[in-house]
Copies of this chain bind each other. A is one copy, B any other.
Amino acid sequence: MVMSAQSDALRVLADPLRRQIVELLSREQLCNCHLVEETGARQTNVSNHLRALREAGLVETEPQGRYTYYRLRPDALERLAAELSDLARAARTRELPKRACE
Q: Which A residues contact B (CB, under 8 angstroms)?
A: 7, 10-11, 13-14, 16, 19, 22-23, 25-31, 33-34, 67, 69, 71-75, 77-78, 80-82, 84-85, 87-92, 96-99, 101-102
Contacts and interface: CB of A to CB of B under 8 A. Distances in A.
Contact of A98 (B19, B28, B73): B28
Nearest to A92: B74
B11 A7 contact: no
Q: Which 6 A-B pairs have the closest CB atoms?
A: A14-B14, A77-B88, A72-B91, A81-B84, A74-B92, A81-B85
Q: Is the interface of A mostly helix, strand, loop or mixed?
A: helix
7 contacts: A7-B19, A10-B13, A25-B91, A25-B96, A74-B91, A75-B88, A77-B85
